[in-house]
Amino acid sequence: MDLSRRDTALRELMDDPDCDPVALAATLRRFDTVNRVVSAWGTVWRRHLRPALERLDRPARVLDIGSGGGDVTARLARLAERDGVRVEWVGIDPDPRALEVARERARPGLQFRSTDSAALRATGERFDAVVSNHVLHHLGDAELRSFLADSRALSSGLVLHADIERGRIAYALYAAGILPLQRGTFLRTDGLRSIRRSYRATELRQTLASQGEWHVLRPAPFRVLAVGRERD
C-alpha cells in the first residue's frame, strides 16, 4: 500500500447516492463508537473549544459543518452540558440521508439542518465557533478554498477542522481494529479510503499556507487539527 501521497481518486462508498441505504444508516449510527475512539474531540473540547466559549461569558452558538449522522455534534453538546457551558449547537449537512439519522439525536439546544456552508453563509448567519470532523480529506483544491472561506465567514471566533492524519501505522491499526464493528456497514472500506485520501500535517500546513491565518496541530496520534485564529 503506497501511502506516500494522497490518493484523491478514491471515492468512499457512502458518498454514492445509490449506495445501500440500510448499510449507510448503520454506518452513520456506528460512527458514534468509532469517533469516540479515534476523533480526539474530548481533547479538542478541553484545550481549544471550551476555553474559547467560556471567555464569552454568555450563551454561545456553535456550527458543525458536514455533521453527517450528528454524533460529533451530539457528543460536544453533552460535554458542554457536563461542564456547565451554555451552547446552542447547529449541525448542517446537505445529504438528506445523513440528516435523517442526525435528527434522531436532536433535542432542545441541538438541531440539524439540511444545507451547506455556502448557502448558510449567504443568509448572513454567524456563530461563535465553527467546527468540522472528517470533511477536509473529501475536498478538492477549489472546494477546500471555498470551505475554508465559508467557515471563517460564518464564525466570529474560533474555527476548528479536525481530520485523520495519513500514515502506515494508522492504516494498519484501523484495518484491524474496525473488524468487530464493520459488519453491515461501510466502516472498514470507507475508513481505509479516508486514510488514503487524508493529509499529513506537513502537507496540510503547506496547503493552508495560502489560505490565511491557519495553524495545524496534532491533538492526538493520527489526527490533524486546522485552527483558524480567533478574531480580535
Mean pLDDT by 10 residues, the chain (232 residues): 92 96 97 94 97 95 98 98 98 97 97 97 97 96 95 96 97 96 97 97 95 92 90 50
Give the structural domain span for 55: 31-167+200-228
- Residue 186: predicted pLDDT: 97
DSSP 8-state code for residue 218: -
What is d(CA 76, CA 74) in angstroms, rounded to the nearest whole number? 5
Instruction: Assess if residue 190 is contained within a domain.
Output: no
Beta strand segments in the chain, E? 60-65, 87-92, 110-113, 127-133, 155-164, 214-217, 223-228
Cell numbers for 221: 496520534
Bridge partners, residue 107, by sequence:
110
Q: Are 218 and 48 in contact (CB under 8 A)?
A: no
Instruction: Assess if residue 71 is contained within a domain.
Output: yes
Instruction: Assess if residue 90 is contained within a domain.
Output: yes
Instruction: Assess if residue 129 is contained within a domain.
Output: yes
Instruction: Assess if residue 74 is contained within a domain.
Output: yes
| Other beta carbons within 10 Å of 128 | 22
Instruction: Assess if residue 154 is contained within a domain.
Output: yes
Q: Scan for cell 478541553, then name that residue.
A: 46
Enter the pTM of the model: 0.95
User: Domain total for the chain?
Assistant: 1
Instruction: Assess if residue 25 is contained within a domain.
Output: no
What is d(CA 105, CA 71) in angstroms, rounded to the nearest whole number? 8
Instruction: Assess if residue 75 is contained within a domain.
Output: yes
Q: Are 116 and 104 in contact (CB under 8 A)?
A: no
- Residue 232: predicted pLDDT: 46
- Residue 98: predicted pLDDT: 96
Residue 74: phi and psi, rounded to 5, are -65, -40
Q: Are 22 and 186 in contact (CB under 8 A)?
A: no
- Residue 212: predicted pLDDT: 79
CATH number at residue 78: 3.40.50.150
- Residue 2: predicted pLDDT: 86
Residue 146: phi and psi, rounded to 5, are -65, -40
Cell numbers for 215: 495553524
32, containing H or E segment: helix 21-38
